A and B are shown apart, each in its own frame.
Chain A
Amino acid sequence: MQTDTSLSAAPESARAVRLELDETPLVVLVGNPNVGKTTLFNQLTGQNARVGNYSGITVECRSGHLRGRGKHSSAGKVELLDVPGTYSLSSRSAEEQLALNAALGLGESRKPDLCVVVVDAGQLIRNLYLVVQLVELGVPLLIALNMIDEVADNPPHPEALTRLFGVPCVALDARRGRGVSELTDVILSSLAHPPRGEVRIPYPDTLRPEVDRIVDALPSSWRLDVERDRALARWALTSVAPDDELEHVTAELRASCLEVLERDVDEAIITTRYAFLDAHAPSLYAREAPPPRKRPFSERLDRLLLHPLLGFALFIALMCLIFQALFSWSEPAIGVIEDAVAFLQNTAVNTLPQGLLRDVVVEGVLGGVGNVIVFLPQILLLFFFIGLLEDSGYMARVAYLMDRIMRSLGLHGRAFVPMLSGFACAVPAILATRTMERKRDRLLTMLVIPLMTCSARLPVYTLIIAALIPSGLLFGWLPVQGLLMVAMYVFAIALTLLSAAVLGRTLVRGRRVPLILELPPYRLPSLRTTLRMMKERSWVFLREAGTVILVCTIVLWALLSFPRAPQPAEATAPRATAAQQAPKDDNLAAQKALENSYAGRLGKAIEPALAPLGFDWKIGVGIIGAFAAREVFVSTLGLVYGIGEVDDEAIPLRDRLRDEKTAEGRPKYSALTGLSLLVFFALACQCMSTLAVVRRETHTWRWPLFMFAYMTGLAWLASFLVYQLGSWLGA
């Protein structure tokens, strides 16, 4: 437990210094989930938002500057911060604590000059619960009454809310941009005169001594005045629990809270707040408060989409569509990118003088850039779908439909879409784990996604199966090769689920949180919000994961090309041109160079470790090369065997693998070797890009390294078992 001294009543001198350094006023946007906060943020900031991290923790946040329109010339100096949606300020985990930290300026957060509480006009009472908490704590705030269009028949009065809480209130429809300009006005005038609201909740008298006991236990740095101290005490009483993960709470405060809580004081506090809000509800509307009911359109749509048979069928169809899109629709775009990179590489070959510089540019830099942008089509496509699913409200239904299955694996229902995307490519899939709020859920999903059979494994499987597995029919009608391909998918899924179950119960255990899932009303998704998310996610990927991938590509290239043997002129040229121009000799030279390279030596060095799996050093070099991307295994093997560039069919390489002989003249690679190699590729973490995005998402090298270790360990063990058991059985 650490005591936080930077809190509210921080020494005035410290605050004065900060004001001088940071004169930009800070406005924080808080609100329940699904109230259109992001849409409003986009409207208020325009195009100048950036994605970063909250200081000190790995939760992502968006910040931007208030967009000035004509008369608001000073608007551009106001910084706006978007906080993850929250139903209340009571919190358990570090992530949930964010809204509290941001609103009060706790921990590393800067104290905001103003909070804009976004409120859904159709869910007024529940949304006002958060307003009550913030007003009690003395946070300067104003209310943005959003989605006013959805309650046009009997809208709540902004003036009534102003009377109840003593703070400004603006009605708006952020989707259509109505009221946004007025809100900007009010934000600017509120910054000049920070509105301190007041709300008098009639807490029962019996509560007072209990609250005052907690006030006495508050750290002295938190104390300010009587009302605020009591509000903080009530916050502590509704947040501290035997199993919370709160920071900033001293042992003394915790002990006092737990003692008082034995009398269920937290329930009394919450119930009194709701009783107050319910009592005032009628005065907020022109006519009597509307009967709260599910919106008819959502109700009708849910009868269809959550239908036991039809709903499930539609769900599966939709997931198939997304998968199909990732798997095949991205192909043409990926092809164009690959062609463009190849064109640039050829141009560089033809323009630059032969030598080290040319090789670095062509193979290292251009190849690396190609390795990065080749992921963009799938990332853009996946986030297009995720944006629509989130924005329309269907993503919550995915979690609802899949909870039963995912829970048994220790995963969140929302993990389904990222896991499914893992069959196409782990990189966008790992980026998609953002849709889960809890760090523990995200981490667990990330750690198992790379076990899914991604599309980069297919060329490798195809080669191995075609080269080393006898074609034939099982029971006279089942093609062995096809069956094995299906078996590889089943194997991967089984191992993924098993790993999730094991990891979820051991390393990333986390607390078991009961599900409380809101199914928001269906709304027409906003294309603009979706496009913006696609742009942001791609940019973050390019900037942060891209650099790592680029560096790794260059390192791998160097491993495979150094030390450089004295060679005939053209042999150092890129593979593509070398293979086309002077086939035989160059292929042999390239083979020799590779054997002599660091990667070649490394392959030989690790041969003892690979021998029990049935692999020799040549396959070892292939495995090292495949670290750039699994499909590179095929081309690296082509080089190792002196075949040069291999195409998709890889027929010469296939024959070569089949004909490879041991010293005694027996076939070197058996079907068993093939099987062992398939298992190895199914499980090993042969993908630096995956590790790069895991590093980007977890902000530490610890998890990517762990991922590499556990997957490679698993792969080695499984291949070992397959090969040794197989040999023993005499297969």
Chain B
Amino acid sequence: MKLAQVTVGQSATIQSVGGERSFRRRLMELGLVPGTRVRVMGIAPLGDPLELLVRGASLSIRRSEAHAILVLAEASVPVVPARSLEPELPADAFGAPGPT
């Protein structure tokens, strides 16, 4: 599926990064290589861009570009609504490279 389709709070493993070459390169240099786990942390109040958690860093990209990134969504980890003001999320291995 496309990264843009992953729901907020869900994690996924990157399979391929598409899009314009320079954009693709830049994302990969930031560590979004195939096999890396990404979590969609939220969506900006006006609907775009998205906030991603990759390798412990919060990165933001636009929805149109997130359409070019193919991911394998994970079997639902208990989804905590990212917007709620609940206590912090359980610490887990988000962002670490998973098995491909």
- Of A235-243, A479-487, A655-663, the one with at least 4 CB within 8 A of chain B: A235-243
Distance of B13 from chain A, by nearest CB (Å):
14
Q: Is A308 part of the contact surface with B, judged by Cβ < 8 Å?
A: yes
Kindly state the separation between the CA atoms of A291 and B82 in the bound complex, as whole angstroms. 19
Q: Check A292 against B94 for contact (C-beta < 8 Å).
A: yes
Q: Is A303 part of the contact surface with B, judged by Cβ < 8 Å?
A: yes
Interface residues of A in 399-416 (CB under 8 A from B): 400-401, 403-405, 407
Q: Which of B25, B46, B64, B96 contacts A266 (CB 8 A)?
A: B25
Q: Which of A129, A243, A311 contacts B31 (CB 8 A)?
A: A129
Q: Which of A292, A300, A306 contacts B45 (CB 8 A)?
A: A306
Q: Is A202 part of the contact surface with B, judged by Cβ < 8 Å?
A: no
Q: Check B45 against A401 for contact (C-beta < 8 Å).
A: yes
Q: Which of B46, B60, B94 contacts A518 (CB 8 A)?
A: B60
Q: Check A405 against B31 for contact (C-beta < 8 Å).
A: no
Kindly state the separation between the CA atoms of A298 and B93 in the bound complex, as whole angstroms. 18
Mask for A503-515, Cβ within 8 A of B = 1, else 0? 0000000000011
Q: Which residues of A contact B82 (CB under 8 A)?
A: 303
Q: Check A306 against B44 for contact (C-beta < 8 Å).
A: yes
Interface residues of A in 284-311 (CB under 8 A from B): 289, 291-294, 296, 298-300, 302-304, 306-309, 311
Q: Which residues of A contact B36 (CB under 8 A)?
A: 274
- Interface centre among A122, A126, A296, A309, by most chain B C-beta atoms within 10 angstroms, is A126
Q: Is A727 part of the contact surface with B, judged by Cβ < 8 Å?
A: no
Distance of B9 from chain A, by nearest CB (Å):
12
Mask for A626-655, Cβ within 8 A of B = 1, else 0? 000000000000000000000000000000
Q: Which of B33, B44, B84, B88 contacts A403 (CB 8 A)?
A: B44
Q: Check B30 against A401 for contact (C-beta < 8 Å).
A: no
Q: Which of B47, B51, B56, B91 contacts A123 (CB 8 A)?
A: B56
The answer to whether A516 and B30 touch (CB under 8 A), given A307-B83, A403-B62, is yes
Q: Check A400 against B22 for contact (C-beta < 8 Å).
A: no
Q: Which residues of A contact B21 (CB under 8 A)?
A: 241-242, 261, 266
The answer to whether A126 and B57 touch (CB under 8 A), given A88-B29, A271-B28, is yes
Distance of A617 from chain B, by nearest CB (Å):
50
Mask for B51-92, Cβ within 8 A of A = 1, else 0? 101011111111011000000000000000011110011011
Q: Which residues of B contact A123 (CB under 8 A)?
A: 55-57
Q: Check B83 against A292 for contact (C-beta < 8 Å).
A: no
Q: Is A92 part of the contact surface with B, judged by Cβ < 8 Å?
A: yes
Kindly state the separation between the CA atoms of A90 and B26 in the bound complex, as whole angstroms. 8
Q: Check A519 against B25 for contact (C-beta < 8 Å).
A: no
Q: Check B58 against A519 for contact (C-beta < 8 Å).
A: yes
Kindly state the separation between the CA atoms of A307 and B84 in the bound complex, as whole angstroms. 9
The answer to whether A244 and B30 touch (CB under 8 A), given A292-B95, A292-B96, A294-B53, is no
Q: Which residues of B contact A296 (CB under 8 A)?
A: 88
Distance of B5 from chain A, by nearest CB (Å):
18
18 intermolecular pairs with C-beta atoms under 8 Å apart: A92-B22, A244-B22, A274-B31, A292-B55, A292-B93, A293-B89, A306-B42, A400-B60, A403-B46, A514-B19, A514-B61, A514-B65, A515-B65, A516-B23, A516-B60, A517-B49, A517-B61, A518-B60
> Which residues of B pack against A, CB within 8 Å?
17, 19-31, 33-34, 36, 41-42, 44-49, 51, 53, 55-62, 64-65, 82-85, 88-89, 91-97
Q: Given A126-B31, A266-B25, A521-B58, output 16 extra A-B contacts at Cβ < 8 Å.
A: A87-B29, A122-B56, A270-B33, A271-B28, A292-B56, A302-B41, A309-B45, A401-B45, A401-B46, A403-B46, A403-B48, A517-B59, A518-B57, A518-B60, A519-B60, A520-B58
